[in-house]
Structure 1
């Protein structure tokens, strides 16, 4: 019995080794037959490994160290993450970021969907023109938008103060950036102006994929306009809402250009205009604490993942409930 067992084990081992050799030979043959393809795609993977994968893995390691960029990194474990959530400034920055992200996302998506709905239902011609016009803000650099906003809300020669002075009948020299109260609303205004057209294009494309027969059947059945919108348009647009929300989340949680230019890199009064992206920049390139800055980057990554998962779960629950 033992002899048969040993023979069976030896036979299985030889068979497994033979199969591995055959698979290895097939792999080498495939590489030899398609070597030109692998040579063509190799530069991408090499560049990605150098400028993509390596920085990601290196920043993950540095997030557990104390490093000023020059000296030898000192491993501190999870101290950077603990210190961040004990720091009142970081908690304020986190609150600022969530405030700007929520405000800009809600305002941008609502405005973009409203415009797309109106164009889709009431504009039969020149829809392509609308797409082009609404995408014009994408051609303007975020830093330039922030400079324009700074000029419009300037204390002495700003257009906003000039118009308010014309309305009330006397000169107004209100400093919109002194208290920091208006910093976050102005940042939201810039995001809404720049990204509404992009989301408008997505929503318009999604609305045009809904068959007109569905609307006609609903009207024949006596459905009112609000019921058609609630039970047909909105449910069929959920996947598009998901794409827009996820992209807005990724951009909103990494926001840097607008608050940096608007506050000259300082974050404004009492850090009320500082976002996580700006805080990460200040920590790395002003305080030279690259370990802490790396930890901030992974907190941003964790927030993006968490909110993306929540969005997917909401969409899944909506689909299962229909």
Structure 2
């Protein structure tokens, strides 16, 4: 009987052990090892014996490295330029889908969600083709408009090197990120709208409120918790942006590093330059920035009096 009781008491821990082991090995250990590496100089090619304690030298070098701040500015620009429009478009679009499409709602949600589950490599290749200098559809469309309408005086007369100029790299990357993630936010907001009691809408309509006032005074306030969740995910994801700019710029950040994000520079520092100590210092700097902006997001959505 005692053995049976012991087995029953340990059963939850045995069932949880696979997750705990995987988290310790692939979650907690890399975090702690990264923090440890921040204070060391280490070239992994030379083995663990080459690790040398350097104190705060890595962090000091990262703070003084102009490329770190260039990549940080690019990251913040892309996070704002791609993240803010996502929610400004997703909320009214979700409202239209939820209120107007009826039985077509699920089909529309599936179409908008498709870019989110599509391979990032496939998306980046598609947009690289669209924005190609010589054969891209975007340049072809602009040239056709310039030759056949009054817009010819304001449109460029020659093809634009979208991914080869500092002024156009970031807008293209931001467009790709926006296109990929706006559908994810639409799904979030549609799900939140479906949980709003219909009695609120019926009472508002009985009082003579139109669609605009219902959206502004009922739907938006009820969406605040989901908006907080969605914006927080956008902030964290935008500051960790890596795949889209990495593929679109060939992994180098583009000309004058205009498309270099902090995550890209951290990756290049570690795997191109074999300086894992400096890369760890950059990663912890990025962690601090994400933490601060997440706290600011929390305060922005915090209800007065809480």
- Normalised by the length of structure 1, the TM-score is 0.84
Point out the more displaced range, 262-271 or 246-255: 246-255
Does residue 43 (structure 1) correspond to residue 43 (structure 2)? The answer is no
Report the aligned-residue RMSD: 2.2
Cα offset for 1:31?
A: 4.9
Could you say which residue in structure 2 is the equivalent of 1:82? Answer: 60
Q: 1:117 corresponds to which residue? A: 95
CA distance in structure 1 between the aligned counterparts of 2:222 and 2:277, rounded to whole angstroms: 45
* Counterpart for residue 19 of structure 1: none
Deviation at 1:222, TM superposition (A): 4.7
| Aligned position for 1:188 | 174
Distance 2:57 2:303 in 1: 38
Aligned length: 294
| Residue aligning to 1:62 | 37
The 2-side partners of 1:149 and 1:33 are apart by 56
**2:68–2:282 Cα contact (<8 Å) kept:** no
Please say if residues 164 and 172 of structure 1, whose CA atoms lie closer than 8 Å, have aligned partners that are also in contact: no
1:17 matched residue in structure 2: none
Could you tell me how far apart the structure 1 residues matched to 2:88 and 2:15 are?
A: 45
Per the alignment, in what secondary structure is the counterpart of residue 63 of structure 2? helix
Alignment correspondent of 2:153: none
* Structure 2 counterpart of 1:148, from 93, 105, 126: 126
Aligned equivalents of 2:59, 2:232: Cα separation in 1: 25
> Which residues in structure 2 correspond to 1:102-251 (within 5 Å)?
102-169=80-147, 172-223=158-209, 225-251=211-237
Q: Radius of gyration: which is bigger? A: 1
Structure 2, gaps ≥5 residues long: 149-156
Are the equivalent residues in 2 in contact too, given 1:155–1:174 (CA < 8 A)?
Answer: yes
| Superposed displacement of residue 176, structure 1 | 1.5
Structure 1 residue 163 displacement after superposition: 1.4
1:72 paired residue among 46, 50, 57: 50
Give the Å deviation of 1:85: 2.1
Q: Spell out, residue by residue over 1:28-81, the C-alpha distance to the aligned partner (whole angstroms, 9 max, x if none).
A: 997543334433322221222122211110001101222222352222222322
**Structure 1 portions without partners, runs of 5+:** 1-25
SS of residue matched to 1:265: coil
Greater CA drift, 42-51 or 166-175 = 166-175
Give TM-score, length-normalised by structure 2.
0.89
What's the counterpart of residue 295 of structure 1? 281
